[in-house]
Amino acid sequence: MISSTNLRFAYSAKKTFSFPDIQCKDKETLLILGQSGKGKTTLLHLLALLLKPTSGDIMIAQKSVGNLSAEEATKVRAKNIGIIYQKPHFVSSLSVMDNILLSNYLADQPQNKQKARLLAEKLSFAEHLNKKTSQLSQGEQQRVSIARSLMNDPNVILADEPTSNLDDTNTQKVITLLKEQSASIGASLIVVTHDQRLKDEFSNQVFL
Round the average pLDDT of the chain to a whole number and report it: 90
Q: Which amino acid is at 204?
A: N
User: What pLDDT does residue 134 have?
Assistant: 94
Q: How confident is the model at residue 99 (pLDDT cuts 50, 70, 90)?
A: very high
When pLDDT is averaged across residues 128-133 and rounded to a whole number, the result is 96
Assess whether pLDDT exceeds 80 at residue 66.
no
For 53-66, b/e burial (b = at least 16 CB within 10 A) is beebebbbeeeebb
Rounded to the nearest angstrom, the gap between the alpha carbon of residue 117 and the centroid of all alpha carbons in its chain is 20
Q: What is the pTM of this model?
A: 0.84
Assess whether pLDDT exceeds 90 at residue 162.
no
Assess whether pLDDT exceeds 90 at residue 97.
yes
Q: How confident is the model at residue 87 (pLDDT cuts 50, 70, 90)?
A: confident
What is the CATH superfamily name and number for domain 2-207? P-loop containing nucleotide triphosphate hydrolases (3.40.50.300)
When pLDDT is averaged across residues 80-90 and rounded to a whole number, the result is 86
Residues 6 or more apart from 53 whose CB is under 8 A from it? Answer: 7, 8, 9, 46, 66, 67
User: What pLDDT does residue 164 have?
Assistant: 81
Please give the helix or strand (H or E) that residue 175 lies within, else none. helix 168-184
Assess whether pLDDT exceeds 90 at residue 53.
yes
When pLDDT is averaged across residues 174-194 and rounded to a whole number, the result is 88
Assess whether pLDDT exceeds 80 at residue 166.
yes
Assess whether pLDDT exceeds 80 at residue 1.
yes
Residue 107 sits at φ, ψ, to 5 deg, of -100, 10
pLDDT: which is higher, 8 or 36:
8
Q: How confident is the model at residue 107 (pLDDT cuts 50, 70, 90)?
A: confident
Three-state SS letters, 103-140: HHHHCCCCCCHHHHHHHHHHCCCHHHCCCEHHHCCHHH
DSSP-derived letter for residue 161 is S
Q: How confident is the model at residue 9 (pLDDT cuts 50, 70, 90)?
A: very high
